[in-house]
Structure 1
């Protein structure tokens, strides 16, 4: 089996048990141990074509892995296509665009664009791969001021499920272009994406923390503040129970804190004025707000940089009030001592995220004003207490949870019903038509369909 494909692909082709197999399939989330039948490391678009055609002829499904941040299910069959060698990146300052290979992480794009006074509308983590993130839409630290990150995509290079190389933009294969901006899966293998950059060199942003006794007051004040917040400002809060470990900074070690993240792409003095009501809502325990160069925007969210086992449960939220604040605090507040979630995040959306691009896109969740994500890092509870607690959240928060989710938010558990709910009916039906056109055999549905 490997010899047939190995003669057509430049990188290694390995079966389970082969030396190097585990490294080739490893992802960022250590909760999963991918065990496909084969893994092939592509070194060129021609390799991707060969792999897709091989899988189609063999009746295998393809999963694609660039940086390893995407998988949320065990892979137990099929072909895993490793695109980690697609690391090409080119910034064109004249057209203000960047051409990004399938494995390029946001940090590389941000750093390259910064040399020209430009910036991509990046995700919150500098280490996440740009392509996989953009396929789901992408809600980063500038979401309210600039919209979904996929709104800035101007073109894709794709190997379809039939093994054909095509371009997709507003003029060429516009139906595929529409679908790739938010449709996430089953649309082929993206080998390159091209995005529009914006003129931006710094933001006023970062985070500040309040201590345990002030979490309730700060969270409730933030909820009220977001009602009517300036559309230029993107904020979120995260309740975190920091473990008592030596690698945790001493002021946070062993404490439960509430972090307030803030991003304003404008004059620092105006940013200070806009954040002042939040700063005054409760005593500030740690203050890390200030002017940040775009190359340091990852400090706003400070997402994990090392692989960890994680169970993440995400829900889009239509509206927020003090009733939802109470539900959130019951799950993640100072008195939630038995919660299996060490972190609970609540992001404010709306603003530019509610406005679609000309011609439309397949992004799910534009009608939601918030998103909540719950995170556990206790693998021994992933099959029991964690999903039970997530289900309780869904029940208690049901009056506020949106009918439509988003594939980048979804995470655990992956079920056909939850996947289907990532788009409203009209978008989901149109996506199905585009998938049938470009991947009639479902070769690139990957792990998204359990």
Structure 2
């Protein structure tokens, strides 16, 4: 691999690191501190031309290539080949309602640039996540019921294929690759940029409320009933949180088991307030607020961590969830249980999530009614056995409501048996395999549960 590293140093301006080099560990570090990547070579590209040169050199030597932006989705360690890091390609420009987003951009940068024009991207819950990797998996965010998944708003990609060729993929050029990149996630090439349509949005009615342990059952039941009739302009989620006794956590919820309700409404604030009133009436909030807010502050609704930390999660989609589900969920995950789980989040799906774009896309899991994400205590000593057992204990009683569908961005490291195949309908998975083979015939970009 030393020869390949030397060759790459001759074609890129960015750094090229081997495992023994100073700077290697920092270059390959991702958001999840529990995952330690040890590729044979790490390359920090600065341009599309460098991306193509790296892929051609790797392909010629039979070396696999993987890509790291922020590393939020890196649930499995990379232990061979070339790891391309894209953080140095982080430019975003706005032209009309189209944002041109380079491979290393995070959503915070796009949100800020779009807001200067009275526009907003349809993003995920966290603005610290890398735009490209998130969007390749479809992307369920706090406005998805109203606007659809994030990949629905992509208007084109620039991609380095497995042969090192740089191509455009959009509705007119390489439409099969465009179809696959909107939801197919990995193994399709190195995406160097995307053109992303923005929406006219300067404000929304949203925020979050926290309820104490005594109100968890009543608020959860009210929320589930409420989600059965709210319009598509209403987006929401709930999460049972077991919060540690840390000074950084506000006193009313510090060291407590609480339920938080997150809300985002697009439209007249008075109507947003009226629609949210049943949740306010379901319990007594101990913290938080919901009101009119700038669209650029949307990440504050979920307020996800921005700093790297050890992370473990498990997720499923639910086909439906009614009163019986609420009772069971509180029984297995509520304050009466001692669990090594910091969050169990239910997101209301449906609405525009259920509708594919007119030309079709590879997004899977559109049929889910809700998502359930379980996040474990951030202690890597628990990741191998304790947290999987705890998650299994929660999910087993919920089996009657769990959908056979899955969405790939919630599938972790694809290590759970059958989850990869569940991320797409059989015909979609077959077509994805065909497209991957066409654009990466030698499997330069490994992807899947055995990659």
TM-score range, shorter chain: over 0.9
Match of 1:33 among 28, 32, 36: 36
SS of 1:99 mapped into structure 2: strand
Q: Which residue of 1 aligns with 2:294?
A: 293
Q: Which residue of 1 aligns with 2:18?
A: 15
Deviation at 1:209, TM superposition (A): 1.0
TM-score with structure 2 length normalisation?
0.96
Q: Which residue of 2 aligns with 1:224?
A: 225
Kindly report which structure 2 residues correspond to 1:59-208, keeping only aligned pairs within 5 A, or say none.
Answer: 59-93=62-96, 96-208=97-209
SS of 1:366 mapped into structure 2: coil
Q: Which residue of 1 aligns with 2:359?
A: 359
Write the deviation string for residues 55-102 of structure 1: whole angstroms up to 9, x where unpaired: 222222211011221211011111110111111110113xx1100011
Given that residues 162 and 444 in structure 2 are in contact (C-alpha distance below 8 angstroms), is that contact kept between their aligned partners in structure 1? yes
Q: Which residue of 1 aligns with 2:216?
A: 215
Given that residues 207 and 290 in structure 2 are in contact (C-alpha distance below 8 angstroms), is that contact kept between their aligned partners in structure 1? yes
Q: Which residue of 2 aligns with 1:348?
A: 348
Deviation at 1:269, TM superposition (A): 0.7
Pairs aligned (count): 447
Given that residues 238 and 259 in structure 1 are in contact (C-alpha distance below 8 angstroms), is that contact kept between their aligned partners in structure 2? yes
Q: Which residue of 2 aligns with 1:430?
A: 431
Q: CA RMSD in A?
A: 1.3
User: Aligned partners of 2:435 and 2:254: how far apart in 1?
Assistant: 50
Write the deviation string for residues 361-402 of structure 1: whole angstroms up to 9, x where unpaired: 000011111100000122111011111122333432222212
Given that residues 234 and 348 in structure 1 are in contact (C-alpha distance below 8 angstroms), is that contact kept between their aligned partners in structure 2? yes
User: Aligned partners of 1:43 and 1:80: how far apart in 2?
Assistant: 14
SS of 2:141 mapped into structure 1: coil
Kindly report which structure 2 residues correspond to 1:223-302, keeping only aligned pairs within 5 A, or say none.
Answer: 223-302=224-303
The farther-off stretch of 61-70 and 171-180 is 61-70
Given that residues 62 and 80 in structure 1 are in contact (C-alpha distance below 8 angstroms), is that contact kept between their aligned partners in structure 2? yes
The farther-off stretch of 6-15 and 135-144 is 6-15
User: Aligned partners of 1:60 and 1:327: how far apart in 2?
Assistant: 49
Unpaired runs of 5+ in structure 1? none
Write the deviation string for residues 234-265 of structure 1: whole angstroms up to 9, x where unpaired: 10001111110112122221111100000001
TM-score with structure 1 length normalisation?
0.97
Unpaired runs of 5+ in structure 2? none
Q: Which residue of 1 aligns with 2:333?
A: 332
Given that residues 183 and 363 in structure 2 are in contact (C-alpha distance below 8 angstroms), is that contact kept between their aligned partners in structure 1? yes
SS of 1:145 mapped into structure 2: helix
Write the deviation string for residues 329-368 of structure 1: whole angstroms up to 9, x where unpaired: 234311121x121111100000000001011000001111
